[in-house]
Structure 1
Amino acid sequence: MVGLKPSDVPPPLTVKVLSAGTAACIADLVTFPLDTAKVRLQIQGEKAVTGAAKGIRYKGVFGTISTMMRTEGPRSLYNGLVAGLQRQMAFASIRIGLYDNVKSFYTRGKDNPNVAVRILAGCTTGAMAVSMAQPTDVVKVRFQAQMNLQGVGRRYNGTMQAYRQIFQLEGLRGLWKGTLPNITRNALVNCTELVSYDLIKEAILKHRLLSDNLPCHFVSAFGAGFITTVIASPVDVVKTRYMNSPPGQYSSSTNCAWTMLTKEGPTAFYKGFVPSFLRLGSWNVVMFVSFEQLKRAMMVSRNRIEAAA
């Protein structure tokens, strides 16, 4: 994939998988408050709030973060972080780490695959990742959505307790709730994110605007983040609403989308767009820059070990 000079030896699968998962965890640690703000904005208007939460309204990404810090404390911004890191190690390692190999599989090892092949590879690894990591995503979203306020009941008190409770009350279907919209969303995100990053970086290097270094990775990742947010936001909002909903509120993800459209209008599908973009843009920058550097560092270490052996 992007990140290596033509003369470089391609990193093995284990290096790409491990560096992708680690880089994604680093990106999550940096950008998690933006993701939590995005979730709160996306579910706002879903149902009437009562008690201590009745007067709380979120306005904008930084307003949401400020309101959460004032009413729930700074730790609330990292609700669901443990599940989020679990998700990234299971999710990003597959969708990003396997992308090159799946792309090569579809082209039978040929160089310079076309856009259609890249999109197919991105959709494939995105769908594979969701199938594996869906329970971690459900728990993460529910933790981010719950308020840490006196007088407001908490659905879950710990990550493992959340997995157990969801399984006991909702069964396996509860842990894999929202899989279809999540596969749709992450297939879109993955192919848009990776293909955009690939194409932007290749164009920058082809026209010699920048060399294959950190500024190039930054620009490519930021551009990929914006394109991805525009395309994936509607599905992301539906996924968040449906995952967070109690049993029986929506009969399906399609019913959730229809309810949003009829009760809140088309703009509901772009609720939380600014935090989504800030989060995806910054997440892409941190993740891809970390990914590129980790791959290279691991390859250097691997070559030194082999040379010393």
Structure 2
Amino acid sequence: MGIKILSAGVAACLADVITFPLDTAKVRLQIQGECQTSSAIRYKGVLGTISTLARSEGPVKLYSGLPAGLQRQISFASLRIGLYDTVQEFFATGKESSLGSKISAGLTTGGVAVFIGQPTEVVKVRLQAQSHLHGLKPRYTGTYNAYRIIVTTEGLLGLWKGTTPNLMRNVIINCTELVTYDLMKTALVRNKILADDVPCHLLSALIAGFCTTILSSPVDVVKTRFVNSPPGQYTNVRDCAMTMFTKEGPTAFFKGLVPSFLRLASWNVIMFVCFEQLKRELMKSRQPVDCAT
């Protein structure tokens, strides 16, 4: 279990570093339209958003919030992915895990990880969303400054703002992502289509990323809007969702869908491939020690 948690944490951090600009583009597209007067810049498409951000605010802005993002992966992804197999075995009634035990494991590890990692999610989203253009003063100067200001102005519970939509989002993501990946990998190996190696892991991760993006997009947009909002803008999560629907229409719930898919798909591929390889190598390195003892 320790090897799986460590492997998941390292693989998730590596995937986050590589795909973080896509995540920043997704956040900017999701909050676009929330406040029409805050910026004259309109983002169009994934590449357009990334190039506009790099040109207008500097390339470093694409990685704004990365420290909080890495903290999120260490506290969140390591648990939800690393504990999945162990929890699945707990729910399994027979020798083989059923679909029900896989879903139950995804729900459990995803839910637990959200409550632990929510403060890092709040800080990450706010740093990605803030802009210094058009005379706007940044809300925060850095990661730890954001933690301090949120606690002093909104209270300690401010760090857990948006837990409900984030819980819904990550339960959907965790179940869809891990269960789909698990089922696809098992089917490919069992039917002898692919061996349990990199091509199998890559294809399974891509399919899992696509399914996860479609199902989680509406909740993801609401979560981003609510977490980024200043105190008093929305009374609750439902008010945030209704405001989006009445002002921007149902398509608002799918803003940033393309960068979300590109980010999730590429993140899944990098994370799962690295996770499987790192886990395998660490397991091998333990065997001589275990035999000797």
Q: What is the identity, as a one-letter code, of the residue corresponding to 2:10?
A: T
Residue 6 of structure 1 aligns with which residue?
none
**Match runs of 1:135-154 below 5 Å:** 135-149=119-133, 151-154=135-138
Residue 117 of structure 2 aligns with which residue?
133
Q: What SS does the aligned partner of 1:66 have?
A: helix
Within 2, Cα distance between the matches of 1:308 and 1:107? 32
**1:234 correspondence with 2:218:** yes
Within 2, Cα distance between the matches of 1:43 and 1:111? 47
Residue 8 of structure 1 aligns with which residue?
none
Tell me, which stretches of 5 or more residues in structure 2 are unaligned? none
Asked if the contact 2:68–2:124 (Cα under 8 Å) also holds between the matched residues in 1, the reply is yes
Residue 58 of structure 1 aligns with which residue?
43
Residue 21 of structure 1 aligns with which residue?
9
Within 2, Cα distance between the matches of 1:150 and 1:49? 10
**Match runs of 1:65-76 below 5 Å:** 65-76=50-61
Match of 2:18 among 30, 34, 43: 30
Match of 1:88 among 73, 86, 94: 73
Within 2, Cα distance between the matches of 1:104 and 1:268? 39
Asked if the contact 1:76–1:148 (Cα under 8 Å) also holds between the matched residues in 2, the reply is no
Shift of 1:308: 5.7
Residue 168 of structure 1 aligns with which residue?
152
Normalising by structure 2, we get a TM-score of 0.97
Stretch moving more, 148-157 or 136-145 = 148-157
Within 2, Cα distance between the matches of 1:299 and 1:198? 19
Asked if the contact 1:237–1:269 (Cα under 8 Å) also holds between the matched residues in 2, the reply is yes
Residue 98 of structure 2 aligns with which residue?
114
Deviations 1:19-64 (A, max 9, x none): 11111001001100000000000000001234xxx32110011100
1:241–1:198 CA distance, 2 compared to 1 (3 A): same
Residue 302 of structure 1 aligns with which residue?
286
Shift of 1:248: 0.4
Stretch moving more, 237-246 or 114-123 = 114-123
Deviations 1:197-254 (A, max 9, x none): 0111111112211111100000000000000000000000000000000000011111
Residue 167 of structure 2 aligns with which residue?
183
Asked if the contact 2:76–2:117 (Cα under 8 Å) also holds between the matched residues in 1, the reply is yes
Within 1, Cα distance between the matches of 2:199 and 2:160? 39
**1:224 correspondence with 2:208:** yes
Aligned-residue identity in percent: 62
Shift of 1:150: 6.4
Shift of 1:84: 0.2
Asked if the contact 2:92–2:98 (Cα under 8 Å) also holds between the matched residues in 1, the reply is no
Tell me, which stretches of 5 or more residues in structure 1 are unaligned? 1-12
Shift of 1:101: 1.0
Residue 250 of structure 2 aligns with which residue?
266
Shift of 1:307: 4.5
Deviations 1:151-201 (A, max 9, x none): 221111111111111000001221000001111100000000000001111
Within 1, Cα distance between the matches of 2:91 and 2:199? 31
Asked if the contact 2:162–2:227 (Cα under 8 Å) also holds between the matched residues in 1, the reply is yes
Which portions of structure 1, spanning 4 or more consecutive aligned residues, are displaced by more than 3 angstroms? Answer: 304-309
Q: What SS does the aligned partner of 1:58 have?
A: coil
Shift of 1:117: 1.7
Residue 195 of structure 2 aligns with which residue?
211
CA RMSD in angstroms comes to 1.2
Aligned length in residues: 293
